[in-house]
Amino acid sequence: MESTCYAHLAFLERLLIDNPKDHSKDKPKDNSADGLPRGGAGFGARVGHALFVGFLRLTSVLPLWFLHWLAGGLGWVFAVVPNRSANTTRRNLAVCFPELSSAEREQLARRSLVGMMCTALEMGKAWLLPLADTLAQVTEVEGLDALRKAAASGDGVILLAPHLGNWEIFGYYACEGIASNFMYQPPKSPPMDELLRQVRAKSGVKLAPTNRRGVAILLSALQKGEMVGVLPDQVPADEGGVFADFFGQSAFTMTLTSRLAQRGKPAVFCGFAQRLAHGKGFKVIVRPADSGVFDPDLQRSAAAINRSVEACVALAPEQYQWEYKRFRRQADDSEFY
């Protein structure tokens, strides 16, 4: 499972590099002791990282309303110029909302692409601002008291944070004052890894590796009454998921949450930070997950997790990450996209 910050990095990379060709077989073997690129490639990587950090710093100080205005123009470009993100968005919406007319789906697709750009441009405010300033972006809250009450009970909490609205800001706000744990898969770039670890350090969230040891850390955290954050809408590895209904389609869904829910008596919530109009900030919304999450049958539990995500998406469907290939894994190995 990807951590929230790493998933966001991968999201931005998909925007900047559309369907990149894999040249890994053509690259010479790197024999350096530390694995860092050398020569021209190393210089290019450093320049690229510096530009990326500069982008984050610039967007962190620009007004939110201006970033959203800029996202409107960039989203229009993504809607009219052929690209993978727009194609995937339209494909997902066609199967998830068959009841809408083609004109209504196209309108939703364009709004979703604008939301995609809003998420990218908001990254600096989520990552680089002091924690108090990041939290101040939230101007409305709904349902958070129930989560905090559950966290205070000592039975542990599982928080489902789908890729909806701004999941970075949601993670910071929901975890404030609560001992929290997220899985973390380091990016291949050492400078980016360092940046993301610094980002996480400001919130005090503990990071667990994406392996068996990481799962053990999450189990231990729940036993100690802490909170565990999970991104429920990522396509898992072969051994980590089952097929379950998601918006009427069969989606390969991770079973980590289902297995964690069987240990002890944790409360399970699902939430997101909804982007408000006119740059007015964000509304954090937290709701109890579907009770079927606790079903010992993994497939029924996974379906309940997906229903929990659907209930949140229904509140702001244009802010969901429809450009993600959620249905790329098919039971019959057919090509969906």
Q: Which residues form the domain of 219?
A: 4-19+41-319
* CB proximity list for 123: less than 8 A, separation 6 or greater: 8, 12, 56, 59, 168
- 318 vs 205: CA distance, rounded Å: 29
- Total-model pTM: 0.86
Q: What is the pLDDT of residue 26?
A: 41
- 127 vs 252: CA distance, rounded Å: 30
Q: What percent of the chain has pLDDT over 90?
A: 72
Q: What is the mean pLDDT of the chain?
A: 88
Q: What is the DSSP letter of 163?
A: S
Question: Is the per-residue pLDDT at 218 higher than 60?
Answer: yes
Query: Within a domain: residue 57?
Result: yes
The sign of the torsion formed by the CA atoms of 269, 253, 8, 88 equals negative
Query: Within a domain: residue 36?
Result: no
Query: Within a domain: residue 128?
Result: yes
Look-up: residue for tokens 């958070």? 144
Query: Within a domain: residue 329?
Result: no
Write the pLDDT tens digit of every residue in 144-193: 999 999 999 999 999 999 999 999 999 999 999 999 998 877 777 788 88
Q: What is the pLDDT of residue 9?
A: 53
Q: What is the pLDDT of residue 97?
A: 98
Query: Within a domain: residue 294?
Result: yes
DSSP secondary structure letters along 243-308: EEEETTEEEEEE-HHHHHHTSS--EEEEEEEEEPGGG--EEEEEEEPPGGGG-SSHHHHHHHHHHH
- 283 vs 268: CA distance, rounded Å: 20
What is the band of 333 on the pLDDT scale with cuts at 50, 70, 90? very high
Whether the Cβ atoms of residue 270 and residue 311 lie closer than 8 Å to each other? yes
Write the pLDDT tens digit of every residue in 63-84: 999 999 999 999 999 999 999 9
**181 in helix, strand or coil?**
strand
Q: What is the DSSP letter of 110?
A: H
Total of domains in the chain: 1
| Size of the chain, expressed as the number of residues it contains | 337
- 190 vs 200: CA distance, rounded Å: 15
What is the band of 36 on the pLDDT scale with cuts at 50, 70, 90? very low
Q: What is the pLDDT of residue 307?
A: 98
Which residue would you say has higher pLDDT here, 205 or 196? Answer: 205
Tokens of 308: 């929990």
Q: How distant, in Å, are the alpha carbons of 72, 106, 281, 315 from that of 276?
A: 14, 22, 6, 12
The sign of the torsion formed by the CA atoms of 135, 288, 222, 304 equals negative
- 211 vs 6: CA distance, rounded Å: 15
Query: Within a domain: residue 27?
Result: no
Query: Within a domain: residue 202?
Result: yes
One-letter amino acid of 39? G
Q: What is the pLDDT of residue 12?
A: 55
Question: Is the per-residue pLDDT at 44 higher than 90?
Answer: no
- What's the first-to-final CA gap in the chain, in angstroms? 22
- 177 vs 75: CA distance, rounded Å: 36
Query: Within a domain: residue 334?
Result: no
**Average pLDDT of the segment spanning 52-64:** 94
